[in-house]
């Protein structure tokens, strides 16, 4: 959709993006240098690092204002974005409904009972991902475009392109082509579209809990004439046919769910894969793959920016969980200079006679 905001709405969102950029691009590096000078040998546990940063930077204006602005932007973005999208309602609703000629499909489940963690209010979004009937469009077209892309968010540093990072992850799959791909937790489709561009001959299916995100993604796919199929379901219980995919992939899904749910998601990925099929995950790196200061910055999200399972994701033993789920050929490594995105690859084994292990 070509979004044409009025000047007041556009300026408010651009101000938030600039504020986040200043916090992440100017203040946070100052605080990092202050910490490194004060604590040249930081603790080797995440809890110790949290305490160390709190003590070392207690009087740091850069650190305190960076955290203040980061939290304020996270709260304020929907205060500005939701009224802005309301002023676009007639055009937005018409665009979302213009999917009659879409080559792909959208399958919604009106009786879906979401898992309990779905009520956690991700990212301080009012009412959660479906707290507004135009939330999918709001998140993608306004929040990401005007605030998070220029300002950075979470593990994405200010100045990095979060959409390019999704393409980088898609390229990390083992093969040059796939027959059938499913993405679990597809959201509004940013990573799904990167996967489709990377493997254009594959049938691509996106599974997502959020109705508004799926409606937005389906409308984008229709406007681009892409034959992507969207299914409303939980990532751990998709209802899709066993052994019917040669690639299962997901991007920044695991930090949105508790460890128990992630174990179930990995079991579901294993079930969906054909023998010899590949698993590709893009996520935030484990805590010990970051500098002490950065690990605390990321951990801060857990209690302060609507990311209740972020700490769980940084602490969990993903290779061990994959092994217990039955996967083999497990690899884990970071892209770029900051280990983000963090790639984990694995494979569903094949027995000697070619049957499921």
| pLDDT tens digits, one per residue of 281-313 | 999 999 999 999 999 999 999 999 999 999 999
pLDDT of residue 353: 44
Kindly state the percentage of the chain with pLDDT values over 70: 98
pLDDT of residue 153: 77
Residue appearing with tokens 């993006």? 17
334 is written with which tokens?
């970071």
Burial of 43 (0-12, 13-18, 19+ CB in 10 A): middle
Closest residue by Cα to residue 328 from 308, 303, 302, 350: 350
pLDDT tens digits for 268-279? 999 999 999 999
* pTM above threshold 0.75: yes
What value does the mean pLDDT take over residues 240-267?
97
Residues ≥6 apart with Cβ < 8 Å to 207: 182, 183, 184, 185, 186, 231, 232, 233, 235, 238, 240
- pLDDT of residue 60 exceeding 70, the answer is yes
Q: Domain extents for the chain?
A: 7-347
Distance of CA 330 to the CA centre of its chain: 21
| Residue 139 · residue 146 · CB < 8 Å | no
Closest residue by Cα to residue 318 from 252, 266, 261, 248: 266
Cα-Cα-Cα-Cα dihedral sign, residues 182, 187, 189, 190: negative
**Alpha-carbon Rg for the chain in angstroms:** 21
The second-level CATH assignment, the architecture, of 7-347 is 3-Layer(aba) Sandwich (3.40)
pLDDT of residue 352: 42
98 is written with which tokens?
């213009």
- Distance (Å, whole) CA 301 – CA 307: 6
């Amino acid at each position: 959709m070509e979004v044409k905001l009025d000047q007041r709405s556009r300026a408010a969102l651009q101000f938030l993006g600039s504020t986040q950029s200043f916090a992440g691009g100017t203040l946070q590096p100052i605080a990092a240098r202050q910490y490194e000078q004060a604590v040249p040998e930081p603790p080797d546990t995440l809890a110790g690092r949290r305490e160390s940063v709190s003590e070392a930077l207690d009087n740091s204006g850069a650190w305190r204002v960076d955290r203040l602005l980061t939290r304020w932007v996270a709260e304020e973005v929907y205060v500005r974005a939701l009224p802005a999208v309301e002023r676009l309602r007639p055009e937005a609703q018409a665009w979302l409904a213009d999917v009659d000629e879409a080559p792909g499909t959208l399958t919604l489940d009106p009786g879906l009972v979401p898992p309990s963690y779905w009520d956690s209010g991700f990212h301080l979004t009012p009412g959660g991902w479906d707290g507004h009937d135009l939330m999918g469009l709001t998140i993608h077209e306004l929040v990401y475009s005007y605030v998070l892309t220029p300002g950075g968010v979470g593990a994405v540093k200010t100045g990095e392109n979060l959409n390019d990072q999704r393409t980088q992850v898609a390229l990390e799959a083992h093969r040059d082509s796939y027959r059938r791909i499913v993405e679990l937790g597809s959201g509004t489709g940013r990573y799904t579209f990167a996967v489709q561009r990377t493997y254009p001959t594959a049938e691509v299916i996106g599974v997502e809990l959020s109705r508004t995100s799926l409606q937005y993604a389906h409308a984008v796919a229709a406007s681009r004439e892409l034959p992507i199929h969207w299914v409303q379901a939980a990532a751990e219980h998709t209802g899709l046919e066993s052994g019917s995919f040669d690639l299962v992939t997901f991007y920044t899904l695991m930090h949105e769910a508790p460890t128990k749910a992630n174990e179930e998601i990995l079991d579901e990925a294993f079930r969906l894969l054909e023998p010899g099929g590949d698993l590709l995950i893009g996520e935030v790196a484990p805590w010990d793959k970051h500098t002490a200061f950065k690990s605390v910055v990321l951990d801060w999200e857990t209690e302060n920016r609507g990311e209740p399972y972020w700490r769980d994701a940084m602490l969990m033993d993903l290779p061990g969980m994959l092994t217990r789920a039955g996967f083999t050929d497990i690899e884990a490594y970071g892209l770029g200079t900051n280990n983000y995105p963090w790639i984990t690859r694995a494979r569903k084994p094949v027995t000697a006679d070619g049957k499921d292990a």
